[in-house]
Structure 1
Amino acid sequence: MGLLRIISALTVLAAVLGLTYGSVLNVNYNQPGHDVSPILWGIFFEEINHAGDGGLYAELIKNRALSPKRHGSNLDGYAVVKSEGVDGRIYVSRENPLNSVLDTSLRVNVDSNVAAGQRIGVSNNGYWGIPTRPDYTSYKASFYAKAVGGFTGPLTVQIESTNGSVVYATAQVPSITEEFQKYEVTLTPTPALIQTPSLDNVFTITANGPLTTNVSIFFNVISLFPPTFKNRPNGLRTDLAQKLADAKPSFFRFPGGNFLEGATIEERFAWEDTIGDIAQRPGHMGPWGYYSTDGLGLLEYLEFAEDLNAEIVLGVFTGYALNGESVPPEEMGPYIDSVLNEIEYIIGNTSTTWGARRAADGHPEPFNLTYVEIGNEDWISNDYHLRYAIFYDSILARYPQMEIIATQVVDSRPIPVIDDHFYPGFGWFPDNHRYYDNAPRNGSKIFVGEYATRDNISPEEYANTAAAMDDAAFMTGIERNSDIVIMACYAPLFGHLNNLAWQPDGIYFNGVQSFATPAWWVQHLFSVIRGDTYIPTTSDADEQKFFHVASRNSDTNTLILKMVNTDQNDIQIETVTLEGVTSTRGGTLTVLTGGRWDQNELAEPLRVSPKSQAFNVTSNSFSYTAPAFSLSILEIQL
């Protein structure tokens, strides 16, 4: 009776303290299971929420090529710059195209005399402002220009405050001609002028007086780049790319998503239009309400995968668009050729047509490619079984080494890998963490290509802590079943705070700052801390609240134990037992936790972020309290 009273008293005390008490967790290190997929955790990029243009793609000029396929005049982002008393205007000129691809130019007309000390030209305000940051020590600016009416230069190129009161950096192009030529300058800001990041700036190109009337200056492909990730030309924004690199993703899936399909077949991702000189890239209208420059094109995706040391997962267009258009089988020939050529561009040697083109574009060595995904979310179409069979046969006939990924279950051909997507409401992932436990082991492998908890209780702002722990609960099931679930990635990846078409997203940003959500930190931790062999675990804790998975890293002789608490109360695990282990050398404990509604934001980007400390227990048995709404990862040295 005395012992029962003690246990009862402890239970009552635990309830008062907001604690679930009395559970055990067994880690069966002496019963190792299957290999963990070596490419389990990765990233998926889609051009949505200005994830690329204005985001990961470092180009700072908005509408640099005047969106030639939009029809009509498009001066989005541009304004005339003129001194007081000067008369002038800007407009789109169709009579002075840059080339056959970019079939317009921006015309600056001088409609009155411009006196010495005055100026006229054009400004661009970028993607919600031109950023100045202390770490942007130089910018590379370029543009095509010509002039008529006797003007031969110079042109002044500047980054300046929106009101023109501060000039952060300036350079000059000494002279221009009557034919389009490309001009390049380096802009070096004055450090003392940039103490804090700012977006209240514009980029300007101007002509200084004296000038006479009837002078016209024409521009196109006005471009401005800050320092880029790994200093690649036409490269990526450093802070956003680094956040992805820090997560050590094993694969990189691109280019989408709905962005791959397009709203119409004409607006699909046509990879051939995304390679080579940016002055030869027409861009296209994306399905999320804005025009894509395609500056972040096929080669840039491939090079980023290379920089990440990540496996390429290539999505290919297979004849279906979001408006329901579907290419008839008898008309599929050009689209099949396009996919085969795309693969050749990626892996072909320089003796092949498209391998030679890749070399001409600056990358002589072939890339590695194993996985090709046929289409995207084709459960919304009714003819995928036909299109899948056509592309399956065509790809494997030319490239039999490829692993094919299907986006819908069909019986027309084998399905080596199937792509599953999940965007459930709050609570679904914990309830379904055993979703793959009883999946056939002799069937298709599984790629969880998109997933995120869409919290249907709170306003859909940024992913909060509780929603992130819902994701983590499901991820323990993914890792537990990584003999058949070979890849998984969160989506969408990025969200520009000025253009959010879909939430939640993993990483948010504006032009100068960025932050990872608790959901992204979960992805980061699962990715950077992982083993190669699954270790079974059992517990009597409430499996609707407490989730766990373990693995062994054979290279470092480390036991990795991941524990997730989705409850509002702490959970006390009275005894964690490492079966088959006599003693340890301690290790590291990393915890991600926060309040139910806690979110990160620009003002407090690390409010919910991982904290690590030494784990000094050296025995094979210990207790652990999992904080409310938390992911805890133990790395135990054996």
Structure 2
Amino acid sequence: MTTLFSSLRPLLCAAVLAAPLLAVGQAKPTTKAISPDLFGIFFEDINYAADGGLYGELVQNRSFEYTPSDHGGWHPLTSWDYLHEGYAMGRVSVESAAPLHANNPHYVQLRVENPLQKGLGLKNAGFDGIALKAGENYDFSVWARVKSGTAMPLLVQLRDKKDKVLAETTLSAQAAGWQQYRATFALTAADPEASLVVLATGKGVVDLDMISLFPQKTFHNRPNGLRADLAQVIGDLQPKFVRFPGGCLAHGDGLDNLYDWKKTVGPVEQRVAQRNIWNYHQTAGLGYFEYFQFCEDIGAKPLPVVAAGVSCQNSGGTWKIGGTGQQCVPLADMAAYTQDVVDLVEYANGPATSTWGAKRAAAGHPAPFNLEYIGIGNEDKITPEFEERFKIIYAAVRAKYPKVKVIGTVGPSPKGEDYDKGWAIASQLNVPLVDEHYYEKPKWFLTNNRRYDTYDRTKPKVYLGEYASWGNTLFNAIAEAAYMTSLERNGDVVQLASYAPLLAKEGHTQWNPDLIYFTNSTVVPTVNYYVQQLFGQNQGTDYVSGVVTPPSGAIADTTVAASCVRDAKTGDVILKLVNASATAQPFQVDLAGFKGLNRTATRTTFMGDKDAKNTFASPRTVMPQVTAYKATRQFAYTAQPYSLTVIRLRGKR
């Protein structure tokens, strides 16, 4: 690295401040307010992030709604095995007459001709097995309807991977109409690849739907809640906001696949499942209510993104041939579509007496969710049709809710036609923020550290909604850290930033890199995760220039970066020093302009081999190390190769 960029040594480092650095010993650093919401997270249901991931449901295809359009070869009984124990006789079929709800049209019918004591039924192994923990309780539920006879006994079992029964209970379905039946299992033995079995053990006909198994210990013990360990790792990032439900997922693969928030709220058995643009299935069990609730649980602001009246330009796989598959909501239907967007704000912020606020209250949250941001569009092709529909939605939201900050879109790249057109529209309309996206090599992040230094401060602000440096090595993470110091330095124009994507399940990954990898029982934060966490846990309200001086003769735009922020709530001063080179680099620090600092600081170092990674086999290869550090009024600090150092000094408000 040093040899490669030796010709650039006379230039200034990319991390130098937008204003000239003050000399060491100067007592009065300059400050500017930066966004209090700068670092957050972006959640998209990609890589099985929701069903089989963050969403706590352990049964796959619980309502028999899988179809071949979800994934090649899938059908309503995918992930279910038909069991006829012993010599039981009968059959199983998928039916749709008089379903549990019109939005949930399929169910399974068990016709038992002769149970021969053991019965017949279904077995589900969840998403690559059901991970059960000893000492934990699990809640089972099923909707059932007896079609023949007065009652149907149901034997419900949890079995290990060798088919040994771990726990069982018996229920009696008695109603001629749909009714929900519940049971709780207390597990004394663990098994990472268990299965759920439901057997009808009497003669007759019974219909079953919404067969569900949840751990009682969900995140914050929420019913229909989230997987606790995975949600906690996300919460540990201390994000200031959560963007959801996705990027491409939001505007979907064609108009019939747009993400409709109204179909994801209310009782889960009444929600509308649909094909996932990433080639699997969405139950909508993790819906808008759960997203808002999760934001509240981790202390983050919600940032929902809705389609701008157009589908993804890559709809129908047109990205493969370079064409545009963008489909548009007919103008005759735009009033209704726009009302859906306006209703979303009411659902989040309206009083419990309002139409949609009442639906939020009925779900268990009478108080508003205090929505401040809403995104309209995602990486869209900026066509005349897009522009026309964006303007309609934007005008309606601004007219009804002028305090809500609308975020526009400028395409999928850091430059180009869509970027230029998107910015022109945003500037013309004075849209509060625009959503920039880019995935680039580490060198790009190191050589573009000054990207936002020259942005026009009078134009719309920036939400860097998706970015990553194409890899999960330490060098990738350190390059991202260097770039994040520039986001702090330009925190007056960059209001929000989020790495993407957030989650990826082993064996079900459509996109790499990702921030957190997981299996049913293991969570592996990447090295990139720890960089995001260190910035998230050490955010400031003000950027302070003139505190850190990079090493003299440092390689320009390539290897070193630094920032200093102050948290007005605590008075703490936080230094971030980044060295992306193969050799140690000295930084000069001048704290003379601060009063009341406790010079016994906390130092967190994150460093290692350039190519080091955290993996399932070695999940803790590179971890932050926290030690005490004695700072002086002015001091030199030598940053080790491929390192991020965070020095936090306690101060006064």
Normalised by the length of structure 1, the TM-score is: 0.89
Q: Deviations over 1:325-364 (max 9, x none)?
A: 1124343111111111111111111222111222122211
Deviation at 1:206, TM superposition (A): 1.3
Contact 1:274 1:295 survives alignment (8 Å) = yes
Closer, same or farther in 2 for the Cα pair 1:367/1:637, shift >3 Å? closer
Deviation at 1:466, TM superposition (A): 0.9
Contact 2:112 2:200 survives alignment (8 Å) = no
Deviation at 1:293, TM superposition (A): 0.3
Q: Which 10-residue stretch deviates more, 508-517 or 409-418?
A: 409-418
2:157 counterpart of 1:158: yes
Choose the corresponding residue for 1:446, options 442, 458, 462: 462
The CA distance in 2 between the partners of 1:637 and 1:454, in whole Å, is: 36
Deviation at 1:99, TM superposition (A): 2.6
Tell me what 2:637 maps to: 624
Deviation at 1:446, TM superposition (A): 0.8
Q: How does 1:237-316 map to 2 (within 5 A)?
A: 237-316=227-306
Deviation at 1:205, TM superposition (A): 1.0
The CA distance in 2 between the partners of 1:29 and 1:429, in whole Å, is: 32
Q: How does 1:2-401 map to 2 (within 5 A)?
A: 30-67=28-65, 73-95=75-97, 97-111=99-113, 113-116=114-117, 118-134=118-134, 137-150=136-149, 152-165=151-164, 167-190=165-188, 193-194=189-190, 198-208=191-201, 211-212=202-203, 215-226=204-215, 227-322=217-312, 323=315, 324-379=326-381, 381-401=383-403
Deviation at 1:464, TM superposition (A): 1.5
Closer, same or farther in 2 for the Cα pair 1:28/1:561, shift >3 Å? farther
The CA distance in 2 between the partners of 1:584 and 1:310, in whole Å, is: 29
Contact 2:579 2:639 survives alignment (8 Å) = yes
The CA distance in 2 between the partners of 1:524 and 1:32, in whole Å, is: 27
Closer, same or farther in 2 for the Cα pair 1:160/1:379, shift >3 Å? same
SS across alignment from 1:602: coil
Contact 1:49 1:500 survives alignment (8 Å) = yes
Q: Deviations over 1:562-615 (max 9, x none)?
A: 011112x23231644434369852211101122222111233322222110010
Contact 1:451 1:491 survives alignment (8 Å) = yes
Q: Which amino acid aligns with 1:269?
A: Y
Q: Deviations over 1:472-522 (max 9, x none)?
A: 111011011001111111110100112100011111111111111111111
The CA distance in 1 between the partners of 2:26 and 2:335, in whole Å, is: 54
Closer, same or farther in 2 for the Cα pair 1:73/1:590, shift >3 Å? closer
Q: Which amino acid aligns with 1:66?
A: F
The CA distance in 2 between the partners of 1:156 and 1:261, in whole Å, is: 43
Deviation at 1:70, TM superposition (A): 6.3
Tell me what 1:435 maps to: 451
Tell me what 2:477 maps to: 468
2:601 counterpart of 1:587: yes
SS across alignment from 1:285: strand
Contact 1:430 1:470 survives alignment (8 Å) = yes
SS across alignment from 1:454: coil
Closer, same or farther in 2 for the Cα pair 1:591/1:495, shift >3 Å? same
The CA RMSD over aligned residues, in Å, is 2.2
Q: How does 1:490-529 map to 2 (within 5 A)?
A: 490-529=499-538
Tell me what 1:10 maps to: none
Contact 1:584 1:620 survives alignment (8 Å) = no
Q: Which 10-residue stretch deviates more, 348-357 or 51-60?
A: 348-357
The CA distance in 2 between the partners of 1:499 and 1:179, in whole Å, is: 38
The CA distance in 1 between the partners of 2:266 and 2:507, in whole Å, is: 30
Q: Which amino acid aligns with 1:368?
A: N
SS across alignment from 1:200: strand
Deviation at 1:69, TM superposition (A): 7.2
Percent identity, please: 34
Q: Which amino acid aligns with 1:216?
A: V
Q: Which amino acid aligns with 1:626?
A: A
Contact 1:25 1:575 survives alignment (8 Å) = no
Contact 1:68 1:104 survives alignment (8 Å) = no
Normalised by the length of structure 2, the TM-score is: 0.87
Contact 1:27 1:538 survives alignment (8 Å) = no
SS across alignment from 2:292: helix
The CA distance in 2 between the partners of 1:482 and 1:26, in whole Å, is: 24
SS across alignment from 1:332: helix
Closer, same or farther in 2 for the Cα pair 1:351/1:604, shift >3 Å? same
Contact 1:147 1:216 survives alignment (8 Å) = yes
The CA distance in 2 between the partners of 1:303 and 1:584, in whole Å, is: 38
Contact 1:43 1:252 survives alignment (8 Å) = yes
SS across alignment from 1:131: strand
The CA distance in 1 between the partners of 2:43 and 2:102, in whole Å, is: 30
The CA distance in 1 between the partners of 2:177 and 2:613, in whole Å, is: 54
Q: Which amino acid aligns with 2:483?
A: F
Contact 1:29 1:535 survives alignment (8 Å) = no
SS across alignment from 1:535: strand
Q: Which 10-residue stretch deviates more, 252-261 or 602-611?
A: 602-611
Contact 2:430 2:459 survives alignment (8 Å) = no
SS across alignment from 2:442: coil
Q: Which amino acid aligns with 2:206?
A: I
Closer, same or farther in 2 for the Cα pair 1:613/1:350, shift >3 Å? same
The CA distance in 1 between the partners of 2:291 and 2:358, in whole Å, is: 18
Deviation at 1:559, TM superposition (A): 2.0
The CA distance in 1 between the partners of 2:397 and 2:539, in whole Å, is: 33
Deviation at 1:465, TM superposition (A): 1.0
Deviation at 1:426, TM superposition (A): 2.8
The CA distance in 2 between the partners of 1:229 and 1:413, in whole Å, is: 41
Residues paired across the two proteins, number: 593
Deviation at 1:382, TM superposition (A): 4.7
Q: Which amino acid aligns with 1:454?
A: W
- Gaps of at least 5 residues in structure 2 are 1-21, 316-325, 411-422
Choose the corresponding residue for 2:573, options 553, 559, 562: 559
